[in-house]
A and B are shown apart, each in its own frame.
Chain A
Amino acid sequence: MLTVLGAYSWVNIKFLLEGAWVTVFVSVLSIILSYIFGIILGVIRYVKIKYLSAIVGFVIDIIRNLPLILILFFTYFGLPHIGFKPDPIWASVIAMAVFESMMVAEIVRAGIASIPVGQMEGARANGLSYWQALRYIVLPQAIRNMIPAIVSQFISLVKDTSLATIIVLPDLMNHAQIIYGQNTNYTIPMFLALAVMYFVVCYSLSLLSRYLEKRIGGNNSKKHDHAVEQAIENGSDA
């Protein structure tokens, strides 16, 4: 029993927390990047600019349908072939940001499409240009509808950072593996710690998403809810 409790010695906890810090760093950075690029790409896909929208849509479809592990490998082992050699942390930030931007872009496109056309028509009729109407009337409403879907996408992002151990990102998962690799008695305690730490982060995020959903859901028509629900189902992980 004591040998098992030894798993939670201060040294090990500190080592785990160092890993957790890398997980948080990679997650937060890729969340910010994918939020920005996701909205830009989603809008481009929606507004039908000649050629550009079609190309962006095609790229989004391709990357969304690939496993994240493949994209991680591609950035870490493939990019050096064309002369750019990122370290594991930046390689995972790039891979996660690219992959999740495509996911967010798809949610954004669905979100904009769920806003009734009358909003755009009304704004245009009141003298706003297309882009002004999009920027000040349509997009704010769409983003409000999309927030729950986007938050659940970010929950899977946090979980998916664990996959980056395959390119030796020194994250929570990797550090736990190192600890139980040195002493097999620590295997179960380490898995318990992993499960608890990931669960606490992801579950509190999902509570946040449910809270936002409730707060936003109040003044929405049924149609919006359905579209958001669809987007949540479409939003995916790995």
Chain B
Amino acid sequence: MISIFQNYGGELLTGLGQTLLCSIIALFFALIIGSIFAIMETVPNKAARIIARVYIEVFRNIPLLVITMFFYVVIPMYVVKISGFASGTIGLTLYSSAFIAETVRSGIQSVDPGQMEGSRANGLSFWQAMRYIILPQAFRYVIPPLGNQFINLVKNSSVLAFVAGFDLMYQGNVIASDSLQSMSTYLCVGLLYLILTLPLSYYMRYLEKKLA
């Protein structure tokens, strides 16, 4: 294992960097898209609710790999050439946004309806009430589940290995076939993934206990 780190340290670090970069980009956009659809699910307009529901159900019930491969195979063929990293990140963003939307929606709905009624009665518009009263409270509820979604996102970013995204998993495969030591290579890769996910996972469990 130590020899793998010595000989392929550079590759492993680049992979770790790419995984982290992809996860952060995907998290950023998935949070925005997810929150938009979560809010759309709670507005009074029926059409908006249906659109949000369809979006969430579609991207939640199709495997991440199918979405990613779609952007890797179909989009370059018919629309525009994009790199493996980009297609992986787009796929990951869309897939995660559906899960984040579900999480945020459950957060919004766990806020007492009286809060919305109260702020409407006090003269705020629906959007003002949403922005200043409901969302700040909802986000406090959803921080632990959102953290868990982020852990999933980091793990799911390994799908980049399918589309030549040069992430940690991809580098791991390259190193495994180069060094012929697949057992210790995958142990190294696993260790690096754990460095990313395990502290976060324990922190989220601590937060859950604190909030419960």
B57 proximal to A (CB < 8 A) = yes
**Please, which residue of chain B has its CB at the minimum distance from the CB of A206?**
B61
Q: Mark A143-179, 1 if CB is under 8 A from B, else 0.
A: 0000000000001000110110110000001000100
Segment with Cβ contacts to B, from A60-68, A131-139, A212-220: A60-68
Closest chain A CB from B161 CB (angstroms): 6
Assess whether B152 is in contact with A198, with CB atoms less than 8 Å apart: no
Q: A65-B197, A70-B193 are in contact. Are A173 and B148 (CB under 8 A)?
A: no
Q: Mark B186-212, 1 if CB is under 8 A from A, else 0.
A: 100110011001100110000010001
Assess whether A238 is in contact with B155, with CB atoms less than 8 Å apart: yes
> What is the interface of chain B mostly: helix, strand, loop, or mixed?
helix
Closest chain B CB from A183 CB (angstroms): 12
B190 interface neighbour in A70, A82, A198, Cβ under 8 Å: A70
**Please, which residue of chain A has its CB at the minimum distance from the CB of B200?**
A65
Docked Cα-Cα span, A206 to B200, in Å, equals 28
Q: Mark B46-90, 1 if CB is under 8 A from A, else 0.
A: 000000000001101111111001100110011000000000000
B151 proximal to A (CB < 8 A) = yes
A238 interface neighbour in B64, B73, B149, B198, Cβ under 8 Å: B64
Assess whether B186 is in contact with A198, with CB atoms less than 8 Å apart: no
**Please, which residue of chain A has its CB at the minimum distance from the CB of B146?**
A233
B124 proximal to A (CB < 8 A) = no
Assess whether A66 is in contact with B66, with CB atoms less than 8 Å apart: no
Assess whether B201 is in contact with A184, with CB atoms less than 8 Å apart: no
Docked Cα-Cα span, A65 to B151, in Å, equals 8
A163 CB contacts on chain B under 8 angstroms: 63, 65, 159
A188 proximal to B (CB < 8 A) = yes
A65 interface neighbour in B74, B155, B176, Cβ under 8 Å: B155
Docked Cα-Cα span, A234 to B190, in Å, equals 20
Q: A70-B190, A77-B186 are in contact. Are A237 and B152 (CB under 8 A)?
A: yes
B93 proximal to A (CB < 8 A) = no
B158 proximal to A (CB < 8 A) = yes
A198 interface neighbour in B62, B169, B189, B193, Cβ under 8 Å: B62
Docked Cα-Cα span, A165 to B64, in Å, equals 13
A206 CB contacts on chain B under 8 angstroms: 57, 60-61
**Please, which residue of chain B has its CB at the minimum distance from the CB of A76?**
B182
B148 CB contacts on chain A under 8 angstroms: 233-234, 236
Assess whether B159 is in contact with A238, with CB atoms less than 8 Å apart: yes
**Please, which residue of chain A has its CB at the minimum distance from the CB of B195?**
A65
A130 proximal to B (CB < 8 A) = no
B35 CB contacts on chain A under 8 angstroms: none
* Interface Cβ pair total, 8 Å cutoff: 131
Assess whether B62 is in contact with A195, with CB atoms less than 8 Å apart: yes
Assess whether B156 is in contact with A238, with CB atoms less than 8 Å apart: yes
Assess whether B169 is in contact with A67, with CB atoms less than 8 Å apart: yes
B173 proximal to A (CB < 8 A) = yes
B121 proximal to A (CB < 8 A) = no
B171 proximal to A (CB < 8 A) = no
Closest chain A CB from B87 CB (angstroms): 13
Assess whether B173 is in contact with A73, with CB atoms less than 8 Å apart: yes
B91 proximal to A (CB < 8 A) = no
Closest chain B CB from A156 CB (angstroms): 9
**Please, which residue of chain A has its CB at the minimum distance from the CB of B19?**
A67
Q: Mark B134-153, 1 if CB is under 8 A from A, else 0.
A: 00000000001100110110
Assess whether B145 is in contact with A230, with CB atoms less than 8 Å apart: yes
A-B contact list, 13 entries, CB within 8 Å: A66-B190, A67-B157, A67-B169, A81-B182, A155-B61, A187-B77, A191-B66, A191-B73, A198-B62, A199-B58, A202-B62, A230-B145, A233-B106
What would 17 more interface pairs be, CB under 8 Å, given A73-B173, A173-B65, A238-B158? Answer: A65-B201, A69-B159, A69-B161, A70-B172, A70-B189, A70-B193, A73-B182, A77-B176, A81-B183, A162-B65, A166-B162, A173-B66, A199-B58, A206-B57, A229-B106, A233-B149, A236-B152
Residues of B within 8 A of A (CB): 57-58, 60-66, 69-70, 73-74, 77-78, 103, 106, 144-145, 148-149, 151-152, 155-159, 161-162, 169, 172-173, 176, 182-183, 186, 189-190, 193-194, 197-198, 201-202, 208, 212
